[in-house]
Structure 1
Amino acid sequence: MATARTDGRARGRIETRGDTLRVVVYAGLDPVTGRRTYLREKIEGTDKAAHRRAQKALTRLAAEVDRARTPTTAVSFAHTLDEWMRTADLEQSTRDGYQGYIDRTIKPALGDVAVNKLNARNLETLYSELRRCRKRCDGSPSIDHRRKAEHDCQKAKCRQHECTPMAASTIRQVHSIIARALNTAVRWDWIATNPAAVAAKPRQTAPEPKPPSPAEAAKLIDRAFELDSAWGVLVWLVMTTGMRRAEVAALRWSRIDFNGEMIEIRRSYVMSKGEGREKDTKTHQIRRLALDSETVAVLREHLAACEARYAELGIEFDPEHFVFNSARNPDPRRPYSPDAISHRYKKMAAGLGIDTHIHALRHYSATELLTAGIDLRTVAGRLGHGGGGATTLRVYAAWVAAADRKAAELLGSRMPKRVRKPAGANTAARKPKSAGKRKAS
């Protein structure tokens, strides 16, 4: 049994435990659980030298408590995540995404660890495991069950587990969630420092946009109009404006100025757990984009077709109606689901043998503008990128370089032409002189 020996301090003591000493310092009440908390440190040996080291440790730990540099709670990291999510100001779609990462990845790995015991090594170990297998398996053969309850694996079509690494961008997202939760814990004085601030996270890979070629874009447009004129207008508009799928889904007729040939983008439509709702655009910007005359004509034709369809359905036209809605649900008061847009576009492209997705049309719009010589800030404004073009430059660096080369060639072609002497003219003029010297010698 351990014997205790105090040094006269009310908050600390040195205990003899077998052949070691243990320094214990009272650190106050846990603000979450209300329990008394202590700082402890183990000292090897029980001789006079060990006691001197213990006295120094006692003084140091007491000083840390006085400076409030020590963690003040030992609640689990799972509790910290729950409290952060409860108080964080997040968009609902962002909240749903974060909760998925927390439930599937973070809590199973780190949820039981006390928040004041969490360190950079814990985080880096998690990231290493995720780079190997997103399910963090132990490497032994196993089955990926498709149901949690008792079931017949053959009927449920359960499969042999195959390790699939988590993408570096996804691990960075996991890291970001952990870091934000721990930052909040620091502000609440639950921990002294944020270990995520020093943990090594996966490097950010350079974006690799893959826009369709002009020939592929032409095939996609033709096919879209063949399937459905309204669908063709949607694909056309995304291609010419670079709108996000959520923005084109939320577009209303009142946001299109036919006379001024402008379109205003101020809202987006997102799905969350099967329910759709409107919200601000991704960067909380309101954009007014100029439209070319052909796009305006296409939109006028689409408006006339919509008015005719509304009349057949007995619906009075309202400028607040959505511009696009699913053919399965022609009610103009319900927009086209962004997920349905992506699915239909992917299916259409696959039918043409083109490996692409709806977001690639945004890349197409950006790269066509840049290679045509349009300045970076204008392109960034049309896309709704923040940072004055920094995001645009990072994503489309290769096309910016091509546009820069084109600009250099254009400027060079406008420079005054210099008169150059024929090649070898100076050499020919020197030859007789050298020949004369040889003859004189």
Structure 2
Amino acid sequence: MNTAETTATPTRGKRTRSGHSSRRSRHRGSIDRLDSGSLRVRVDAGADPITGKRHRPTVIVPPGPDDEHQAEVALTRLLNEVDEQRHPKTKVDIGHLVLNYQDERKAARTTIEKDGSLIARHIIPYIGSKSATKDARKTIRALYKDCQRCRHHCTNTNWIEHRTSRKHECDARCRKHRCKGLANNTVRKIHAILSGAYTMALAEWEWWSVNPIDGLAPPSFEKTDPVPPSTTDAAAIVNEAFRRELTWGVLLFIAMISGARRGEVVALRRRHHDPIKKVLYLRDAIAQLDETNELIEKGIKNEIARHIVLDDTSNQLLIDYWAALDAAASEAGYDLDDDAFFFSLKPDHSTPLRPRSVTQRYRRMTRAMGLDTQLKCLRHFNATELIAAGVDIRTVAGRLGHGGGGSTTLRFYAAWASEAHQRAAGDLAARLPELPAVLDQIERAKTAPEAPFERVASRIRSRILAGDLADGSVAPSIKEVAATYEVAVGTAHRAADLLRQWGMLSAGGRGKRPLILRPAPQQPTTEQPKDGQSVAAALRREGQRPLNLELHYLGSAVKVFAAEADPADARQLDRLLRSAVRRHTAGADADIGDFELIVRNSGEPTVVTAFVSL
């Protein structure tokens, strides 16, 4: 058996023997002869910061004619490494390292969640138990190669890759596994996690003095070849979107002309559009968490708050769009304020759309059209068309919110909202496809329903017209509609909102069920939208015409704007007046009686009417 370990003196100790082993003691180190004949060289490197136990780096020298000399050399090397703080202070494994890094790093919540998913799927199961110091570069390099070989890290290819982990009946989507590696850019994200963890352990935790994976290079960037849609395809996409739904068409059109990211588009609120300055502000973004599907509102990427100057046609489209939303909300008993989201499934526009739902709907629509494209390609389309129009790169980078523009002035929109920026808006408008003709979506749903809620509303409408639901009778409840037509409660709510817009359901109230309203017969109109008609004209209802409006406060003009309305319709004029007052006063309390709306026909100086709200 070995001799008991004793504290060594600074000078060379005497050799001692006991049984089959011996020890040579050194200052903070020792050389022991083991039963196998090998020499064990061990030094004291202090306390392990993780376990609190003594950390003793060890080297085994095999028996041989010069084993004692090699042991002396190994002891000197270990002592030098400890003295120069080049030897790791802990035997922590890679799993413990990256989990500590996740807990202490400062990053956005979405970044933490996405990186946590990569750690759980690719790092912990395969190299989590490996030493973070011994052969670390070799271990991590092997992980990168395995990730590029197969994203499932399979060892047997003879298994079925199911479309879902839940209980299901297999179909064509459940197929035999075929190895497909992770993209190089995904492997680079794994490298960024590991590199960040090792750097934090070096700089902040002082677990080691030399980075064990220093010099380990990640896979190279993949060469991307973005293929934006052509102008012909872009026109077809926008036409199809407007044909399906006005809101869907406006969403894709904004994405196309602004080059905004998906999360930035769905985060737009009413206050982000200034119709007077013709500007669309990009300030926030909506993110959807992977684990819980929770929506969170966060700052814009790269923290580059920017704004997009609109051309006249695009600006008028947004004005008309909000007029349509105001009318629909008013029919449902709501008043949209400046915090209302541009795109929402709620009648009061209090919540945004889900970013992933937008991507999925776009993919389904383009596939049905026979196009192989992605939602992000609209961003590429914007950049490509601006560059083709001769707009300078700095202006393009500013409009897209790119952080690597080469100049710190790109971080401030004032630096790039110049004459070139104004020219960019006009040039892009000239290269975009002409705004498509669209049907009145509310009227279209009566005869050609597409969405589930439209089909439910159309069937209820048929029952009302047939007399199954009598005029003035209490309407079926939302739960009854959902059960009768086998749809979700949310779909039943949307069907009820559509019936209100058709004038076939009363608004109801707190504790009161809405009533059935049978519309009076209307004389058929022969006026139909023509091909090439603008969206503004398509939104025009019977009796409406272009108007020039002036907002007066205590007799003085304070705001001039244009809109389409029926000058004989007090409800429309009241809505325009209140909307103009709200924008003029920036939401502050104001006496509506101090304001007056002067109405003129477009291009005519004669005053048609002066409207005040009583």
With the shorter chain as reference, the TM-score category is 0.7 to 0.9
1:54 match: secondary structure? helix
Structure with more contact order per residue of length (Cα contacts < 8 Å, sep ≥ 6):
1
Contact 1:380–1:389 (Cα < 8 Å) also in 2: no
Query: Unmatched 5+ residue regions in structure 1?
Result: 391-441
Deviation at 1:139, TM superposition (A): 3.9
Q: Superposition pairs for residues 181-260 of structure 1, below 5 Å?
A: 181-187=197-203, 188-260=205-277
Instruction: Confirm or deny that 1:180 pairs with 2:199.
Output: no
Q: Aligned residues: percent identity?
A: 35
Deviation at 1:334, TM superposition (A): 0.3
Tell me, in whole angstroms, the C-alpha distance in 2 between the residues paired with 1:140 and 1:232. 45
Tell me, in whole angstroms, the C-alpha distance in 2 between the residues paired with 1:169 and 1:107. 20
Q: Which residue of 2 aligns with 1:422?
A: none
Instruction: Confirm or deny that 1:137 pairs with 2:154.
Output: yes
Query: Unmatched 5+ residue regions in structure 2?
Result: 3-19, 408-614
Contact 2:55–2:89 (Cα < 8 Å) also in 1: yes
Aligned match for 1:75, one of 92, 100, 120: 92
Q: Which residue of 2 aligns with 1:163?
A: 179
Aligned match for 1:274, one of 268, 289, 293: 293
Q: Which residue of 2 aligns with 1:400?
A: none
Aligned match for 2:103, one of 68, 71, 86: 86
Distance change (3 Å), C-alpha of 1:81 and 1:57:
same
Tell me, in whole angstroms, the C-alpha distance in 1 between the residues paired with 2:174 and 2:393. 50
- Which structure: greater helix fraction? 1
Q: Which residue of 1 aligns with 2:565?
A: none
Q: Which residue of 2 aligns with 1:317?
A: 336
Letter of the 1:119 counterpart: A
Distance change (3 Å), C-alpha of 1:212 and 1:152:
closer
Instruction: Confirm or deny that 1:294 pairs with 2:300.
Output: no
1:32 match: secondary structure? coil
Letter of the 2:185 counterpart: S
Aligned match for 1:305, one of 324, 329, 332: 324
Instruction: Confirm or deny that 1:336 pairs with 2:353.
Output: yes
308-317 or 362-371, which moves further after superposition? 308-317
Letter of the 2:179 counterpart: C
Deviation at 1:191, TM superposition (A): 3.2
366-375 or 329-338, which moves further after superposition? 329-338
Distance change (3 Å), C-alpha of 1:56 and 1:196:
closer
Q: Which residue of 2 aligns with 1:423?
A: none
How many corresponding residue pairs?
A: 386
Instruction: Confirm or deny that 1:124 pairs with 2:137.
Output: no
Contact 1:26–1:38 (Cα < 8 Å) also in 2: yes
RMSD: 2.2
Deviations 1:344-368 (A, max 9, x none): 1111111211111111000000000
Contact 1:210–1:360 (Cα < 8 Å) also in 2: yes
Deviation at 1:66, TM superposition (A): 1.4
Tell me, in whole angstroms, the C-alpha distance in 2 between the residues paired with 1:27 and 1:361. 58
Tell me, in whole angstroms, the C-alpha distance in 1 between the residues paired with 2:369 and 2:57. 67
Instruction: Confirm or deny that 1:98 pairs with 2:115.
Output: yes
Deviations 1:159-184 (A, max 9, x none): 43221211111111111111111211
Deviation at 1:158, TM superposition (A): 5.9
Letter of the 2:195 counterpart: A
Distance change (3 Å), C-alpha of 1:65 and 1:361:
same
Deviation at 1:7, TM superposition (A): 3.4
Tell me, in whole angstroms, the C-alpha distance in 2 between the residues paired with 1:357 and 1:57. 60
Q: Which residue of 2 aligns with 1:35?
A: 53
Deviations 1:70-123 (A, max 9, x none): 111112211111111111112111111111101111111111112222521111
Q: Which residue of 2 aligns with 1:45?
A: 63
Distance change (3 Å), C-alpha of 1:196 and 1:280:
farther
Tell me, in whole angstroms, the C-alpha distance in 2 between the residues paired with 1:250 and 1:118. 47
Contact 1:4–1:13 (Cα < 8 Å) also in 2: no
Tell me, in whole angstroms, the C-alpha distance in 2 between the residues paired with 1:193 and 1:145. 45
What is the TM-score when the length of structure 2 is the normalising length?
0.60
